[in-house]
Structure 1
């Protein structure tokens, strides 16, 4: 099956990574990441079926054509290995106007990519790209309060806690990053 829109999509290269919008051909590696219990331990959603996974990937792909931004697939430049997702999206979570009207950052890395600084490198690149192409904006995030690595990454990116919420029956910390935030 051909991957539509791949010629007009952004590609970001960092010293170690390649970031690009997802393609249909990413499905099996991408789904495997979400099926790994170690990777998904902080996700508030149940284990997705193949159909739910397919629909989620289509939603990620659709963000790009509808909004001009979305989640990037993150790949190792040296060997092309899939490492995870990083980017900004509009998930319409129903968490209030102060949250839902802002682009929401998200990241998830495959278990084999943990502890190598890939998430930080990819998140910096995605934020820089977003600011260049869409202008500086306030961005938001929700993170499980026990996900300390993700909370540390959010702090490095300039996010600060703004409150707490329950999303899909799970406690979350709500965070925001002002348009003028500097990354540590």
Structure 2
């Protein structure tokens, strides 16, 4: 578990299903992630996929909760997406962050993502990482900028344009 000033980051647990489903079935939350909400079954597949990533790779998406309330905040971490976008993209760990609507605008994405990147560097070595973000997702682009990500291309992913960004540790 990782603790920050306001948050706890931990591996996913079976009891996270309802919170993941609620977050990923909210149209406002997924509007920049292709716009498609998830059914409960798809949320279950999401949960088992992120848990399995930890088993296979030793890292992945953390579940993030508020320290003071224990409320579910979202999913943040680094993972291998195997997206097939380009060798420059697919050969690096991919960062991702998605927050429940109630957690938007509190600075939690930057706080948790910075902690996840520090943890990754300490446990797996400082190395280049990448992320993709919809061009109109200004909040996510601000988080990426705070983390030191810079654009290096644009591609289409699942029928939508996305910016490819990279972070090279200094």
TM-score bin (small chain):
over 0.9
TM-score by length of 2: 0.97
* 2:15 aligned with 1:25: yes
| Corresponding residue number in structure 2 for 1:7 | none
> Post-superposition shift, 1:45?
5.9
Q: Following the alignment from structure 2 to structure 1, what is the Cα–Cα distance between the partners of residues 57 and 35? A: 24
Question: 1:16 is matched with which residue?
Answer: 6
Query: Following the alignment from structure 2 to structure 1, what is the Cα–Cα distance between the partners of residues 125 and 169?
Result: 9
Give the equivalent residue in structure 1 for 2:152. 162
CA distance in 1, matches of 2:167, 2:48: 27
How far apart, in 2, do the equivalents of 1:96 and 1:24 lie?
Answer: 33
Unaligned residue ranges in structure 2 (runs of 5+): none
Which residue does 2:166 correspond to in 1? 176
Compute the TM-score of the two structures, normalised by the length of structure 1. Answer: 0.90
2:142 to 152, 155, 173: 152
8 Å CA contact 1:45–1:168 kept in 2: the answer is: no
Question: Take 2:165 and 2:5, find their aligned partners in 1: how far apart are those partners?
Answer: 28
Query: Aligned pairs, how many?
Result: 170
The equivalent residue for 1:8 is none
Structure 1: where are the runs of 5+ without partners?
1-10
Q: Does 1:117 pair with 2:117?
A: no
Kindly report the root-mean-square deviation, in angstroms, between the aligned alpha carbons of the 2 structures. 0.9
Q: CA deviation at 1:50?
A: 2.1
Q: Which segments of structure 1 move beyond 6 Å, counting only runs of 4 or more?
A: none
State how far apart, in whole Å, the 1-side matches of 2:28 and 2:36 are: 14
